[in-house]
Structure 1
Amino acid sequence: MSGTSEGPAPAADLIRPAVTESSGDASPGVSLPADGRLGSAFSASPLAMAVVDRDGLVVSANDTFGALLGKGGAALAGLVAADLVDLRSDARTWHAYREVLRGRQAKLSRTRRVKHPDGHSLWVQVTAAPLPAAEHGVLLSLTDISDRRELQARLRHLEMHDPVTRLPNRTLFFERLSAALEAESYEQGGTGRIGLCYLDLDGFKAVNDTLGHRVGDRLLAAVAERLTRCADEAGLARATAPLVARLGGDEFALLVEDSTGTDQLADLAESVLKALQAPFDLSGQRLSLSASIGVVERQAAGTTATCLMQAADTTLYWAKADGKSRWTLFDPERNAHRMTRQALASTLRPAIERGEFTLEYQPLVGMENGRLRGVEALVRWNHPQFGMLTPNRFIGLAEEDGSIVQLGRWVLVTACRQARRWQLDHPDEPPIFVSVNVAVRQVWDSDLVADVAETLAETGLAPHLLQLELTESAVMGSAGRPLQALQALSDMGVHIAIDDFGTGYSNLAYLSRLPVSVLKLDGSFVRGFQYEGEGVPPNPADEVIVEAMIQLAHRLGLSVTAECVETSAQASRLRRIGCDTGQGWLYSRPVAPDRISELLGTKACNQAS
């Protein structure tokens, strides 16, 4: 076989520069392409190519390569290739490119933006690959990807912006927020702080429901315009304006990077509220709306996007709960209380099963002789984390989640069992009654009558030694099932008491038709009595009101208990106007069952214990 071949040259040879001994311009081992087929292919190729020596200088470039950079191919010879296509812009790319020049890396591919001499920029895909060892150089090729990048940019804009308001959407907002929270953002003279106004339109759902989603969308777009205007005005004196984004539905956010403090965020929130106050005219529809805004401002260091948004969401909830059409600043103490409340709510039911609750008893004392007549059972939660908690910390939670039924049943059984134990331990003393608080939800969500009957039968306590207390607002509106339950309990012999009387409806005419036997006067009336010898001016109106209520109650066949009796002066006045029993710190604070046993058969309740 002949040593020559007439067949086509290998593909690699088409891009390989010819090696000659006549070129004094090229680096050793690399030369310009020779004339002929190889040179013609290199020059005419639609692929932009250049040969670069091991020092990084352009040996030769075809016209396609030169055209992309706005120069002739021949004019590029001897120039630094890395500068032509921006390969020095970051350390990793520069290192990788030099490794390719030295033959230590097989290939490099990067996307770069280069500037054409006529002023426009274009995006190119830069590829660098070593030539065969004999040439000791690199083939650099460029591909114009500007159209593809433009399409990608358009698609990204559509992906990152809300189609209704054309504002940045939730995805772009969190992208910007995460970038703003990075520590590097604050290493060049920034404040190191970040602020957020998180707002929700009050009553926007009604607009969609009554006028339709088309009007609702136009309203959202109009709101976006006003928010953008507020942000632009806020950014006049700063390098950048706050970012306005629609997070979804009728929720918007204004992100302030490098904030200067809460005053700046408060001013922004005020401007937003003011901007939204003016009615919106939408093709004959004149609409008014307001917004609630949660404001958070803090150090960026140590803050995550999740934590910031949780704080903003919580604060927005406060603004709505406080009456809407306002802004509210994040309060760490209020948030700690909320977190504690959530922690209690999540562990309430298991705590009942674990036996973390206990009862204390506060004496109910006869005003005439000072003897113990009964006790009120007061539940306490011995929480493993928060210590001993009083009812105001958890009863509301129990009513909200329904666990009040389970807890109330435990209190009823425990109190009745203890009352029966006192009766058996002190057979020579008149038995004392026990008063148990009942929530309205217990009447609705359980068979309270059956629970009481079963408890009395189980413990052996007589029905007249059990008193159930309901608040005035609950009892006065009773009808249907609640009223039937109260009547059945009264027919059973159980006493029904109205707690905190005088603070609710005070419908005295309706009172005569209820199966009630006891009124417990709210402590605010007793506290208003004149304190002898303490320099407090008299308030005769309180005494007149209390006396009138006692007389009316007696005429209706009811007995009266005064709460919050703290001084002997109060007790003497209550005794003089006919009050039947008293309860308060003058006699005793809530105590353990053993202390009640000590008080039985004594008049020790005449003074604080």
Structure 2
Amino acid sequence: MRTPAAGGDALLALDPAYRSAFTAAPLAMAVVAPDGLVVGANATLARLLGAPRPDTLAGRVAADLVDLAADPRTWQAYREVLRGRQAVLRCTRRLKHPDGHSLWAQVTVTPLTGGEQGVLLSVADISARRELQARLRHLQMHDPVTRLPNRSLFFERLTTALETALTSDVGTGRVGLCYLDLDGFKAINDTLGHRVGDRLLAAVAERLTRCADEAGYNRTGVPLVARLGGDEFALLVEDSAGTEQLADLAEAVLTALQAPFDLSGQRLSVSASIGVVERHAEGTTATGLMQAADTTLYWAKADGKSRWTLFDPERNAHRMTRQALVSTLRPGIEREEFVLQYQPLVGMSDGRLRGVEALVRWDHPQFGMLSPNRFVGLAEEDGSIVPLGRWILRTACRQARRWQLDHPGEPPLFVSVNVAVRQVWDSDLVSDVARILAECELDPGLLQLELTESALMGSAGRPIKALQALSDMGVRIAIDDFGTGYSNLAYLSRLPVSVLKLDGSFVRGFQYEDGAGSGAGAAGEGGRSAPNAADEVIVEAMVQLAHRLGLSVTAEGVETAAQAARLRRIGCDTGQGWLYSRPVPPDDIVALLTQDAPVL
């Protein structure tokens, strides 16, 4: 054993009081020479390290006593302190005691003062503190009701799983997730109380844990089961083998939850909806995976509950597009991204242009020109149909007035505008119409408002009063897509309606001319298809009924001259469809308005 040189004199030369304090100090300490050997140690360090006496530590390599060479960074920092190039080193080490138990120690190395060479090594036993921290972390990271990992620990494990899958050379490099929500749990909580609800959650957690254990049998790892909050749970599969493994796990969970729960004499039944996501870790984040799982769980709920649903990228892309449209609807109205096109309404008797229907399009900066079926439903859901409908009404009335002023020699065209029932409820439609007609100086008789049959039939109160006030003003009210809704004919006579627009599905039945049928679609004598004949009977009956009630009839979806001829024969008043024109910009309507010949 080497006898320490430099630094040893410093220890011996200490004032007796200081040397006594060093020897008896409750903090474990040692003086270490510049070459890294222990010069002297106190009794506390000897007890901490399990040495029989302090002097048995003299001449030992200090770094070996407290494991400072375990990692390169700590070893380098320790050497810098020994050389006087660094002021202090602090690190935590797990030390093995000779009796077999381990302890956590905080090691501090500082240079000696007073011009002496060497360093002072101090070691503090922090095992109790670490144990307390571990207990606190366990409480912080686990749910007190189910004792499962909570959301914080789940995200920590998920993030680690993704990082491991990306960096590891073994395994599949994939992760899977079953995200589930109990169906009907809120009703149990509300009716039986939170105590029963908590016992049910704990029982569900036990069954999920058994499912995870069984799923992990003969595999590399057991899925992590966590309670994310409320009645939401998650099962994380690290290094997953594919969607089939996740599907089997989801099926096992549904089966496990089917059996009733017996809780203190109460027999309860619950089911679960599960969103399943399985994918490669590359390009995936913890947040992105959870968003996909949450979306898929919503699909499972929407599809009927008590089932699992696998994430579908195409379905998700549609949802994302829908969300993008929702978020840009109101700004799009403010930026005037919408345009109107007009489809002619043609008199069946003479083929002359009588009016137009205003059809809105959205010239979206990202998705291009969008038809109404892409955004009108969304606008009705979030209420933006009110400002959008007001803009459509004003724009259409201005255009109708402009045609009237620019072509005084032609009969004025009426303009037909679709109105959502929410516009009647959420705005003062009567005042809006009156104000817009006055602004545009348009005769009320040149405005027609269309509402769907389902919106009108069975309505009462404010909508009917509003429509009656509009009708009294001179505005024409039309029922759109007539024949597809309630068809409450008795109620029809009491509505302030002047026009019925027959749904195009009836007109499509007029596919063949008499005697001209051929192929699989024709049947019966003379080539006449029986279903077509039935459609004609229905349409003729509706036209006669409308006329008896003093209403005019517009047929939608007219595409062929044969259809137009049949509609003309049974007395239909006006027609609308591609036979006459597709929806076109305002300038194209001018060409139809001024031509000498009929539209068809």
Q: CA deviation at 1:248?
A: 1.7
Q: CA deviation at 1:152?
A: 1.2
Deviations, residues 242-287 of structure 1 (Å, cap 9, x unaligned):
2222222222222222233333333322322222222222112222
The SS at the match of 1:435 is: strand
Does residue 605 (structure 1) correspond to residue 585 (structure 2)? The answer is no
Residue correspondence of structure 1 range 121-520 to structure 2 within 5 A: 121-131=102-112, 136-182=117-163, 186-520=167-501
Assess, with a 3 A threshold, how the Cα gap between structure 1 residues 431 and 94 changes in structure 2: closer, same or farther. same
Deviates more, 1:454-463 or 1:50-59: 50-59
1:201 and 1:290 in contact (8 A); partners too = yes
Deviates more, 1:48-57 or 1:207-216: 48-57
Q: 1:17 — aligned with what? A: none
Deviates more, 1:339-348 or 1:203-212: 339-348
Paired with 2:566 and 2:222, the residues of 1 have a C-alpha distance of: 68
Paired with 1:283 and 1:250, the residues of 2 have a C-alpha distance of: 20
Instruction: Pick the aligned partner of 1:589 from 582, 588, 593.
Output: 582
Deviations, residues 399-429 of structure 1 (Å, cap 9, x unaligned):
2222212221221122122222223333343
Deviations, residues 491-512 of structure 1 (Å, cap 9, x unaligned):
2222211111222212222222
Deviates more, 1:205-214 or 1:456-465: 456-465
- Over the aligned positions, Cα root-mean-square deviation in angstroms equals 2.7
Instruction: Pick the aligned partner of 2:521 from 527, 536, 539.
Output: 536
Instruction: Pick the aligned partner of 2:45 from 60, 65, 71.
Output: 65
Paired with 1:41 and 1:275, the residues of 2 have a C-alpha distance of: 67
Q: CA deviation at 1:602?
A: 4.5
2:165 and 2:172 in contact (8 A); partners too = no
2:344 and 2:576 in contact (8 A); partners too = yes
Does residue 29 (structure 1) correspond to residue 9 (structure 2)? The answer is no
Does residue 577 (structure 1) correspond to residue 570 (structure 2)? The answer is yes
Q: 2:526 — aligned with what? A: none
How many residue pairs match? The answer is 583
Q: CA deviation at 1:77?
A: 5.1
Deviates more, 1:149-158 or 1:595-604: 595-604
Assess, with a 3 A threshold, how the Cα gap between structure 1 residues 526 and 287 changes in structure 2: closer, same or farther. farther
Does residue 564 (structure 1) correspond to residue 519 (structure 2)? The answer is no
Structure 2 counterpart of 1:536, which letter?
G
Deviations, residues 81-106 of structure 1 (Å, cap 9, x unaligned):
33332222322111111222333323
Paired with 2:67 and 2:220, the residues of 1 have a C-alpha distance of: 28
Paired with 2:598 and 2:216, the residues of 1 have a C-alpha distance of: 73
Paired with 1:37 and 1:495, the residues of 2 have a C-alpha distance of: 110
Paired with 1:360 and 1:183, the residues of 2 have a C-alpha distance of: 56
Paired with 1:504 and 1:80, the residues of 2 have a C-alpha distance of: 92
Structure 2 counterpart of 1:457, which letter?
A
Structure 1 gap ranges (5+): 1-23
Deviates more, 1:582-591 or 1:384-393: 384-393
Structure 2 counterpart of 1:29, which letter?
A
Q: 1:48 — aligned with what? A: 28
Does residue 98 (structure 1) correspond to residue 91 (structure 2)? The answer is no
Q: 1:9 — aligned with what? A: none
Q: CA deviation at 1:473?
A: 0.9
Does residue 109 (structure 1) correspond to residue 94 (structure 2)? The answer is no
Deviates more, 1:444-453 or 1:590-599: 444-453
2:180 and 2:232 in contact (8 A); partners too = yes
Paired with 1:58 and 1:478, the residues of 2 have a C-alpha distance of: 95
Q: CA deviation at 1:332?
A: 3.1
Deviates more, 1:521-530 or 1:208-217: 521-530
Q: CA deviation at 1:173?
A: 1.9
Assess, with a 3 A threshold, how the Cα gap between structure 1 residues 27 and 133 changes in structure 2: closer, same or farther. farther
1:372 and 1:603 in contact (8 A); partners too = no
The SS at the match of 2:521 is: coil
Structure 2 gap ranges (5+): 523-528
Paired with 1:463 and 1:330, the residues of 2 have a C-alpha distance of: 52
Q: CA deviation at 1:42?
A: 5.6
Q: CA deviation at 1:225?
A: 1.6
Paired with 1:558 and 1:534, the residues of 2 have a C-alpha distance of: 38
Paired with 2:24 and 2:444, the residues of 1 have a C-alpha distance of: 109
1:179 and 1:185 in contact (8 A); partners too = no
Paired with 2:99 and 2:541, the residues of 1 have a C-alpha distance of: 98
TM score, norm. by length of structure 1: 0.88
Instruction: Pick the aligned partner of 1:550 from 523, 543, 546.
Output: 543
Q: CA deviation at 1:481?
A: 0.7
Paired with 2:123 and 2:503, the residues of 1 have a C-alpha distance of: 88
Deviates more, 1:147-156 or 1:548-557: 548-557
Assess, with a 3 A threshold, how the Cα gap between structure 1 residues 188 and 48 changes in structure 2: closer, same or farther. farther
Structure 1 counterpart of 2:28, which letter?
A
Structure 2 counterpart of 1:554, which letter?
H
2:174 and 2:278 in contact (8 A); partners too = yes
1:198 and 1:313 in contact (8 A); partners too = yes
The SS at the match of 1:197 is: strand
Deviates more, 1:59-68 or 1:488-497: 59-68
The SS at the match of 1:573 is: helix
Structure 1 counterpart of 2:3, which letter?
A
The SS at the match of 1:605 is: coil
The SS at the match of 2:130 is: helix
Assess, with a 3 A threshold, how the Cα gap between structure 1 residues 71 and 603 changes in structure 2: closer, same or farther. farther
TM score, norm. by length of structure 2: 0.89
Assess, with a 3 A threshold, how the Cα gap between structure 1 residues 39 and 443 changes in structure 2: closer, same or farther. closer
Paired with 2:415 and 2:189, the residues of 1 have a C-alpha distance of: 55
Q: 1:3 — aligned with what? A: none
Paired with 1:478 and 1:438, the residues of 2 have a C-alpha distance of: 15
Structure 2 counterpart of 1:549, which letter?
M
1:29 and 1:134 in contact (8 A); partners too = no
